[in-house]
Every structure is written in C-alpha cells, then in structure tokens.
Amino acid sequence: GQNIDQPTEMTATEGAIVQINCTYQTSGFNGLFWYQQHAGEAPTFLSYNVLDGLEEKGRFSSFLSRSKGYSYLLLKELQMKDSASYLCAVKYYGQNFVFGPGTRLSVLP
Amino acid sequence: SAVISQKPSRDICQRGTSLTIQCQVDSQVTMMFWYRQQPGQSLTLIATANQGSEATYESGFVIDKFPISRPNLTFSTLTVSNMSPEDSSIYLCSVTEISRYEQYFGPGTRLTVT
C-alpha cells in the first residue's frame, strides 16, 4: 500500500511559524499535494510539488525530498484563520490520489 | 479554477432508501471523482466517474451500492443505495482540469441516515 503519515494534531501561537511534516512511500511517486480544510468545509488546494525543493506561495511554502519520501508544509506569520486540518496527498503512477490522515492545526492567541 | 456545485448540500434519509447526489462543473474537466469523508477522518476515494462508460471503483466500493453516472464532461451523479446508518458521511465531488494535476473539490453533501 501507499501509507502516508502526518502528525495528528499540532498547536502553535499566532504570529509564529509551524512546519507540518508528511512522509510517504517513494515507489511510483508522481507528485505531492497539500490541501487545507476548515471544519465543515471542502478541502482547498494549497500547493503541488513534483521536483525536489521548496515552492513558496506567500505565507505558505511546501518542500519535497523525493529520495527521502518526505515533504513539509511551512506556515509563516500564523493567523487565527489558519486553524484547520492540513491534508497531504500523493499521486502515484497509474493510480489516483492517496490522502494522508490529515493534521489538525490549532492556532492560539 | 473550476467552480463546482453539488446538490443537495445536506439530507436526512431513512434506512433502506437511496439518495442521488449531483455534481455540476462550470467548465470542461478531464477527470471527475467521488470521495467519502467520515466524521473526523480523511478522504477516501469511492470511484472515478468516466464519461460515457462505467465508473472505476476503488477497493471496498461496488457499483450496486454506489452507482455513478457521467453523461458529459461537466456533470456526474453518485447514488447511495439501500442506505444504512454507516453511510452517514460527507460525500465530495472533485475534478481535475485540463493540463492541471491538482484536484478541486465541490462543497460536499452531508448525509445522515436514521
């Protein structure tokens, strides 16, 4: 199978930086995606990585190391509205997306 | 990105009945998918909706329980048949646009079976 691991919960303070990690099985890897999901809402697309390195989009950045089967989502200057679940999803060749269990982030004042 | 709508947004149904959920996209897309998300859980793919042919189901999901149609490039339906309380969940439609890799999700249908 393609097990994807993420921490279940994280807590951080408003204005701080938080890093959410995701590990996955490397065989057949064809892209990694991060989604944000607020309670009661649908997931929204944040980032896509297929090559090694860092992709930056405003306060959010995503990093990928294909050889290590590792990615992280970095959130800077945390705001209360960033409290949500963050889902890592991996696309494997010949298969559809596989979603990780999600990380529930709580941002405290 | 594509604008996706789902109907109904929520419903409460009795055991043994069926519910059909509609997904409409405002532009032509290559792929359409149906997911289930149970409370506090991540997303589980039910099937890929194929235009003009039978859907491709993931392990653990069968056509008799979750029949799917996709008559054109912008519309699909998912039916949850012979419902039981275990089918209470959020059902989400997602799409992939032409020349893109990421999926975009509809607002979801919250189903409660009593």
Residue-wise burial string across B62-101, b where 16 or more C-beta atoms lie within 10 A, e elsewhere: eeebbbbbbeebbebbbebbebeeebbbbbbbbbbbeebe
Q: What is the mean pLDDT of residues A71-91?
A: 97
pLDDT tens sequence across B100-111: 889 999 999 999
B39 CB burial (10 A radius; 0-12, 13-18, 19+):
exposed
Q: What is the mean pLDDT of residues A97-107?
A: 95
pLDDT tens sequence across B69-97: 999 999 999 999 999 999 999 999 999 98
Q: Do B43 and A43 touch (CB under 8 A)?
A: yes
pLDDT tens sequence across A21-78: 999 999 999 999 999 999 999 999 999 999 999 999 999 999 999 999 999 999 999 9
In this predicted structure, what is the pLDDT of residue A22? 98
Q: Of B57, B103, B112, which to mutate for an interface test with A (greatest number of A Cβ within 10 Å)?
A: B103
Q: What is the mean pLDDT of residues B40-57?
A: 92
In this predicted structure, what is the pLDDT of residue B40? 86
**Residues of chain B with a CB closer than 8 angstroms to some CB in chain A:** 1, 33, 41-45, 48, 58, 92, 101-108
Helix (H, G, I), strand (E, B) or coil at A59: coil
In this predicted structure, what is the pLDDT of residue A2? 67
Straight-line distance from the first to the last Cα atom of chain A, in angstroms, rounded to the nearest whole number: 40
Q: Do A33 and B102 touch (CB under 8 A)?
A: yes
Give the contacts of B47 (CB within 8 A, at least 6 positions apart).
B33, B34, B55, B56, B57, B58, B61, B66, B68
In this predicted structure, what is the pLDDT of residue A95? 82
Flag the least confident range among A76-80, A97-101, B16-20. A97-101
Q: Using CA atoms, how far apart are residues B101 and B8, in angstroms rounded to an integer?
A: 27
Q: Cβ atoms within 10 A of the Cβ of A104, count? A: 18
In this predicted structure, what is the pLDDT of residue A1? 47
